[in-house]
Structure 1
Amino acid sequence: NSVFTLKVLPPLYFIIFLVGLFLNGGAACIFFRVPSESGLVVYLKNMVVADLLMLSSYPFRVVAQLELGGWYIHVIVCRFTAVIFYCSMYMGILFMGLISLERYFKIVRNISSSSSSSSPSSCRSTLARIFSLRHLQNPKCASVLAILTWTLLIVFLLPNSLLTSKEANETNARRCMDLKTPLGKEWHRVSSIFSVSMFWVTLVVLAFCYASIARQVYQSYRRVRCNNSDVCRKSNRSIFSILVVFFMCFVPYHVCRVPYTLSQMPGSGFSWHARFLLLQLKEGTLFLSALNVCLDPVIYFLMCRTFRDSLL
C-alpha cells in the first residue's frame, strides 16, 4: 500500500468510471440502433460491450482500494471483477487488431487490386485476389470472428475465477494468489503468458498494418496532389486514432509488466524498494489501460461514419 494506490488512484478510477459510463452508454444507444452493415461496425459494437464490462469492475476496485468493504470485497475482486477487467481489456486489444486488419485489407489490398487490374494475367494480381481476406469486411463473417474471439478469451481466463476457490479469511483475502488452488496458480501463469503473447502479436499486426496504410495513403496523396487539404487531415485522424489509443493505453502497461513479473519470481534478486517501485509503476500503467474506456468513443466517432452521422 502507498499514498498513490490508496489516495490518488481511487478517485481517478471513479472519475473515469463516470465519464466512461456516460460515453459508452451513449455509444451503445447509438450503435445498437444502426444495422451491422460492415465488419467494422461489428467489431466496434463488440468493443463497446467489452468497455461496458470493463467499467462494471471499476466500482469494486475503488471500494477495495479505499478499504470500505472489509476483506470480503477483496475476495470479490480476486475471484470475479479482476477476471472481468482483464478479460475485457484483452478483448478490446484483440478487436483493435481485427479492426486494423480490416482497414488494411480495405485500404491497401483494395487499392493494390484496382491498380493491378489492368494486367489480369499478372500472378501478383491473382494472388492479391486470393489472399484479400475480404471476409474480415463481411458482417456475417465478422460476427463469427467476434464470437470465436469471445470464446477463446473466456476459455482461457474464466478458470482464473473458478480456481480461486480456497477458503478466504482476513489473513489471505488481500493476496489473490493465496486464494488460488495449486492448479489455479499454474493456470494463472499459463493464461498470463497467453494474454501477454496476444498483446505482442496484436502490436506487431498493428505496426505492420498501419505502416502499410501510411505508405499507401502517402502515395495516393502524392498522386492526387491533395497534401494539406481537409480531406487528407480527416483521413489521417480516422485511420491513426486507433493506433494512438493503443500505444497510449496498452503499451506502457505491458512494457512495465515484464520487469514486474520478473521481480515477483522467487530468487529474482530484486530489492524490496525495487519491487515496491515496480508495483507502483505497474498500478499507474494499469490505470492508463483502464483509461481506454474513455478514449474508445473517440475511435468510434472518427472511424465510423454511421456512428458519426447518428450522433450528429
Structure 2
Amino acid sequence: MNMDSPNITAPLVNRTDFSSVFTHRVLPVLYCLICVAGLVLNLLAAWIFLRVPCCSGLVVYLKNMVVADLLMLVSYPWRVATLLELGSWRLHVVVCRYTAVLFYSSMYVGIMFLGLISLERYVKIVQPSGPRSSALLQKVAVARVLSALTWGLGMLTLLPNSLLTSLPADEESSKDCMRLKTPLGIQWHSASIYLCVGIFWATFLLLGFCYTSIARRVYQSHRRVRKNSCKAHRKSNRSIFSILLVFFICFVPYHVCRVPYTISQTSHVVFSERSRFLLYQVKEGTLFLSALNVCLDPVIYFLMCRTFRESLLRKFSHSVADARRSSVTDGHSVSNM
C-alpha cells in the first residue's frame, strides 16, 4: 500500500511501506534520466579508455572508475521497477538480495578510487621528487595492485549482505529488506554500513588534505614565478577541486543521514513512525544524489586525464568534419541534379 503521507496512528511494527509521491512518482523519472545520461557518458568514456594505454597510475584508477560506474548503472532499472511497483513481489526480493548490494558495492569502490586518484595527484604535484615510497605510488604495477585490493575490500565488505539476506520471502516481507536478513545478516548489515561510512569520511579527509596541499603548492609557485609556468599546477588544482565538488554534491548529504537511518532500521531504540517516514524520504533523496555520481564522473575524466580529453576532442572534431563533408557532398549532389 502506498501512502502520500505517513499514517501516524498505524502500529509501528506493521508499517513496512514508507513510500510517498516523491519516492513513487518523482524519483523513478529522475532515475530514468540519469540512467540514460549516465549510460551514454560512461559507454563513451569506456570506448575512449579502451584506446588509452595504461601509462600511469591515474589512467588505471580512472579505467576502474568507469567499470564501477557501469556496474552501478546496471542496478538502476531494477530500482526504478521497484519504485514503480512493477512486476511481482519477487522483484523486490531480487533487489534486496542482489542489485542493491551491487549498487552499494560499486558506489564505495568508486569512492575509494577517487581517494586513490587524489593521493596520486598529491604525490605527482606536491612531492614530485619525494621519497621512494612516493614514487612507487605512481607506478602502473602498484596502481593495479591497489585497484585489485580496492575491489576486494568492496566485495568482501558488502557481498555477505547478499548471502545473509536469505530468509524465506513472501509478498509482505519482501517490502522490507531487513525482514529477509538472518540475525547474523542484520548484524553484518550494521557493521558494513558503519565501515563504509568510515571509509567515506576517511576518503573525504584525504581529499581535503590533498586539495589543501596542492592549493598551497600552486600558491607558492605563483608567488615565486608569477608567470604561466604554474599553469599545469592550476589545472591540477581545478581537477582536485572537481573531485571535492562531486563529493559535496553526491556523497556528503547521503552519509550525513545514513547512520541515523541505519539506527532506525536495526536498533532497539524506538523511533516514532513520522521520524522513520522522514528519515526514509531523506535517505531516498540523498541516495539519488549519490546515484547522480555516474553522470559527474565523466567530467572528472575530462579534467584530470589529458589523454582522455585529447582523444574525446579529436573524436568530436573528426565527427564534425565528417558531418561537414557529408553536407557539402549532399549539396553538390543536389546542385548537379
Of 243-252 and 268-277, deviating more is 268-277
Question: 1:86 — aligned with what?
Answer: 104
Question: 1:160 — aligned with what?
Answer: 161
CA deviations over 1:172-191 (Å, ceiling 9, x no partner)? 01111111112211211221
**Are the structure 2 counterparts of residues 272 and 199 from structure 1 closer, same or farther at C-alpha, using a change threshold of 3 Å?**
same
Deviation at 1:230, TM superposition (A): 7.2
Deviation at 1:235, TM superposition (A): 4.2
Mapping of residues 114-263 of structure 1, within 5 Å = 128-130=130-132, 132-226=133-227, 234-263=235-264
CA contact (8 A) 2:194 2:259 kept: no
CA–CA separation in structure 2 for the residues paired with 1:134 and 1:232:
18
CA–CA separation in structure 2 for the residues paired with 1:297 and 1:97:
16
CA contact (8 A) 1:78 1:176 kept: yes
Deviation at 1:278, TM superposition (A): 1.6
> SS of 1:137's equivalent?
coil
CA contact (8 A) 1:163 1:183 kept: yes
CA–CA separation in structure 2 for the residues paired with 1:301 and 1:129:
30
Question: 1:2 — aligned with what?
Answer: 20
Of 7-16 and 260-269, deviating more is 260-269
Question: 1:118 — aligned with what?
Answer: none
CA deviations over 1:252-298 (Å, ceiling 9, x no partner)? 10012133233345453543222211211111111000000000000
1:15 aligns to 2:17 (yes or no)? no
**Are the structure 2 counterparts of residues 60 and 263 from structure 1 closer, same or farther at C-alpha, using a change threshold of 3 Å?**
same
TM-score under structure 1 length normalisation: 0.90
Q: What is the aligned-residue RMSD (CA, Å)? A: 1.7
Question: 1:123 — aligned with what?
Answer: none
CA deviations over 1:12-56 (Å, ceiling 9, x no partner)? 001000000000000000001110000000000000000000000
CA deviations over 1:69-103 (Å, ceiling 9, x no partner)? 12111001000000000000000100000001001
CA contact (8 A) 2:211 2:237 kept: no
1:35 aligns to 2:49 (yes or no)? no
Q: Which of 55, 59, 66 pairs up with 1:48?
A: 66
Question: 2:16 — aligned with what?
Answer: none
CA–CA separation in structure 2 for the residues paired with 1:212 and 1:252:
25
**Are the structure 2 counterparts of residues 274 and 226 from structure 1 closer, same or farther at C-alpha, using a change threshold of 3 Å?**
farther
Question: 1:286 — aligned with what?
Answer: 287
Deviation at 1:240, TM superposition (A): 1.6
TM-score under structure 2 length normalisation: 0.83
CA contact (8 A) 1:51 1:92 kept: yes
CA–CA separation in structure 2 for the residues paired with 1:172 and 1:196:
27
CA–CA separation in structure 2 for the residues paired with 1:60 and 1:2:
19
1:106 aligns to 2:124 (yes or no)? yes
Of 16-25 and 187-196, deviating more is 187-196
CA–CA separation in structure 1 for the residues paired with 2:103 and 2:266:
24
CA–CA separation in structure 2 for the residues paired with 1:27 and 1:164:
34
1:97 aligns to 2:115 (yes or no)? yes
CA–CA separation in structure 1 for the residues paired with 2:192 and 2:233:
42
CA–CA separation in structure 2 for the residues paired with 1:282 and 1:226:
48
CA–CA separation in structure 1 for the residues paired with 2:239 and 2:203:
19
Question: 2:7 — aligned with what?
Answer: none
CA–CA separation in structure 1 for the residues paired with 2:146 and 2:267:
40
CA–CA separation in structure 1 for the residues paired with 2:280 and 2:86:
22
CA–CA separation in structure 2 for the residues paired with 1:75 and 1:220:
57
Q: Whose radius of gyration is greater, 1 or 2? A: 2
CA contact (8 A) 2:190 2:262 kept: no
> SS of 1:173's equivalent?
helix
Q: Which of 71, 78, 81 pairs up with 1:63?
A: 81
The one-letter amino acid of 1:70's match is: S
CA–CA separation in structure 1 for the residues paired with 2:117 and 2:99:
27
> SS of 2:172's equivalent?
coil
CA contact (8 A) 1:226 1:232 kept: no
